[in-house]
Amino acid sequence: MSMKFVYKNGRKSDRTDKVEESQGTLPNKNNQPQKGDKKPVKPVILIIVLIAGLLFAAVFTGSCIERTFFYPTEYKKEVIAASDRFGTDRILIFSVINAESGFDKNTVSKKGAAGLMQIMPETAVFIAGKLGIKSYDLFDPGTNILFGAYYLKYLLSRFGDTITAVAAYNAGEGNVAKWLKVKEYSADGTTLKSVPYPETSAYIEKIKKSLKKYKKLYPSLVDKRKKI
């Protein structure tokens, strides 16, 4: 018996072009679409899908880069603990740490401010007295964040405004108290419309930007009970 092909089911039989054509193994002679043929995907659809994928990847990658290098949440456990104890907003604490030390726990300024939230020695003595702490290490992340969170809460309670409190954190509460009495810097005696120190002005803008970024990147950290 003559044989041209052996089929998958093991049966032996002659195979003709007609059979091949009907089973799709041989292109039809007229090159016309046949029943069962897959419709080609239009190039425009492929382009749309590709662009959508690239946009998604860009957004996702961009967010990851911002979280990792520009707006991290290191020492999250310590920040949450301090926030829960004093009621200081977590986003604000992270923003201040980012602006003050860039999350470097060993940073010391030329004026002697130390640690993650750059606590001045005299400010540390004041805070320790309020908290009843006799011995402390400002280079310990938990202690530094605890002191910084307390001081922010203290300033917020005194001035009643986040930006004014932030200005006081940078320039000192004594200076801010003076500025609030000058119409050039404050129209209502409560909030600041400008400050005379360029460094403090830049610091305020940096904190404002960080607050927005942290809220966007970490919505789960936002305390909806507080407006900052």
pLDDT at residue 36, as a whole number: 57
Assess whether 66 carries a catalytic annotation. Answer: no
Per-residue pLDDT at 181: 98
Angle at which helices 198-217 and 90-100 cross, to 10°: 130
Pairing mode of beta strands 5-6, 12-13:
antiparallel
Encode pLDDT of 172-201 as tens digits.
Answer: 999 999 999 999 999 999 999 999 999 999
And the tokens for 18?
């007609």
User: What's the pLDDT tens digit per position in 31-74?
Assistant: 555 555 556 656 777 777 667 665 555 455 557 888 776 899 99
Overall average pLDDT of the 72-90 stretch: 98
CA 198, 152, 129, 120: dihedral to nearest 10 degrees? -30
Q: Cite the DSSP H helix spans in 66-196.
A: 76-86, 90-100, 121-131, 141-159, 162-171, 173-179
Q: Would residue 69 count as lying in a domain?
A: no
Domain membership flag for residue 22: no
As beta bridge partners, residue 114 has: 108, 119
Task: Tell whether the model's pLDDT for residue 121 goes beyond 80.
Answer: yes
184 neighbors 146 (Cβ within 8 angstroms): no
144 located within any domain: yes
In a domain, 17, yes or no: no
Among the listed residues 66, 100, 173, 199, the single catalytic one is 100
CA gap 77, 90 in Å, rounded: 11
Residue at 175 is within a domain: yes
Q: Return d(Cα 180, Cα 146) in angstroms, integer.
A: 28
Beta bridge partners of 46: none
Point out which residues pair with 119 in neighbouring strands: 114
Q: What is the mean pLDDT of the chain?
A: 84
Give yes or no for a contact between 101 and 93, defined as CB atoms under 8 angstroms apart: no
State whether residue 80 is helix, strand or coil. helix
Q: How far apart, in whole angstroms, are the C-alpha atoms of residue 198 and residue 9?
A: 85
Domain that holds residue 134: 75-221
In a domain, 53, yes or no: no
Domain count, the chain: 1
The CB density around residue 79, as the number of other CB atoms within 10 Å, is 26
What is the reported pLDDT for 20? 46
pLDDT bucket at 6, cuts 50 / 70 / 90: very low
8-state DSSP, 4: S
DSSP per-residue codes, 179-199: HTT-TTT-SSSSS-S--S-HH
How many Å apart are CA 102 and CA 100, to the nearest integer? 6
Residue 31: inside a domain:
no
96: CATH:
1.10.530.10
> So what's the pLDDT on residue 15?
46
On whether residue 126 sits in a domain, the answer given is yes
- Cβ contact 84:55 at 8 Å: no
Asked whether residue 1 carries a pLDDT value surpassing 70, the answer given is no
Residue 21 predicted with pLDDT over 50: no
